[in-house]
Amino acid sequence: MLAQKKTDGFRLVDNIDEKQINVLYNDKLLTAYYYADSIKKPVLYPINTLSGLTVTRGFPIAPREGELVDHPHHIGMWLNYEYVNGLDFWNNSTAIPYKNRAHYGTIVHDGVVKTESSKTKASLEVTARWIDKEENILLRESTRYVFSVEEENFIIDRITTVETIDEEVKFNDVKDGFFAIRVARELQHPSDKPEVFVDSKGIATTVPAINNEGITGEYLSSEGIKGKAVWGTRARWVSLSGEIQKQPVSITIIDHSKNIGYPTYWHARGYGLFAANPLGQKVFSEGKEKLNLVLKKGESITFRYRVVIRSASEILASDIEALEKEFEAAEK
């Protein structure tokens, strides 16, 4: 029997039965576009470095020992929002009691429009719909993912356009949103006390104090702000650095100058939620600013983000600035 020839570069593998499209590089899994109905929105999960380290939390899909089990809606990398015409898309999960589900929205994968792959790059274009409990469509979504490799960097660009259909859609100014990653335990910030977080409906989630052994994360923003102080500040980019299995690892999210609210506010928490929220300005500015986005019937808006996953060496601010300029040029 002949051994299977190794594939160089990117390859996309559609596993329809498992509702996921695997993104392989040199035959190793870097991430997967995962759209199971049970998670209430499509996500990229898991996300791995080029060296094979997983930078996303396993819970609730594949829990790993020692993980926190808060916020079951924090899965992989995703894009949604807490208040869209009164519906909460952000906090929706199977943990929500059935009697309360009318208050939550779901993003449903519709189909794959186009795929391309080469030695250094792959792209995946998909569509989805933002619906209420009765499956009425509020928004049509078109998303293009571009996956690439440059030296030690695994780069994910997400370009998402949402368009209204039959009615005006309002994104009220709230805290929980918008483009986010829930990171692995090792990339959390060390903490010695429990914290309680409340959503717009007053539902509280307690994040307990945990053993800090092996927890090494620290945020750094383009404005030079470090650690948990990044939360509620504006920046062009934020990088989260630490170690996994004693190997330097970083996740950097880069905003784009064409995005509304640029430079975005950061909803970046020490317990592992790493999010950019350009639409929720009142909380972050302590009432000094406010943005209630309204899309009239037939209107659309596009959001552009770049994520850089790096391993084996430290990422420098100068490296991020170069990647930012490259992203700006690619998505004019």
CATH number at residue 199: 2.70.98
State the residue range of the domain holding 150: 10-330
Please state the φ and ψ torsions of residue 319, each to the nearest 5 degrees: -65, -45
CA separation for the pair 323, 240 (Å, rounded): 16
Q: Report which of 132, 156, 121 is spatially closest to residue 46, judged by C-alpha positions.
A: 156
Specify whether the CB–CB gap between 56 and 182 falls below 8 A.
yes
What's the confidence (pLDDT) of residue 28? Answer: 97
Residue 241 CB coordination number (10 Å): 18
Q: Is residue 189 assigned to a domain?
A: yes
Q: Is residue 61 assigned to a domain?
A: yes
Q: Is residue 241 assigned to a domain?
A: yes
DSSP reduced 3-state for 35: coil
Model-level pTM? 0.94
What's the confidence (pLDDT) of residue 270? Answer: 94
- In this prediction, the residues of the chain whose per-residue pLDDT falls under 50 are 1-3
What's the confidence (pLDDT) of residue 16? Answer: 94
Specify whether the CB–CB gap between 272 and 262 falls below 8 A.
no
CA separation for the pair 246, 186 (Å, rounded): 10
What's the confidence (pLDDT) of residue 2? Answer: 45
Q: Is residue 174 assigned to a domain?
A: yes
CA separation for the pair 285, 298 (Å, rounded): 31
Domain count along the chain: 1
Q: Is residue 255 assigned to a domain?
A: yes
Q: Is residue 3 assigned to a domain?
A: no
What's the confidence (pLDDT) of residue 210? Answer: 67
**DSSP string computed for 173-201:** --SSEEEEEEB-GGGSPP-SS-EEEE-TT
CA separation for the pair 107, 227 (Å, rounded): 32
Q: Is residue 167 assigned to a domain?
A: yes
Q: Is residue 322 assigned to a domain?
A: yes
Beta strands at 169-171 and 293-295: parallel, antiparallel or unpaired:
antiparallel
What are the counts of helices (DSSP H) followed by strands (DSSP E) for the chain? 1, 20
Task: Supply the DSSP symbol for 119.
Answer: S
Tokens at 250, concatenated: 């970083």
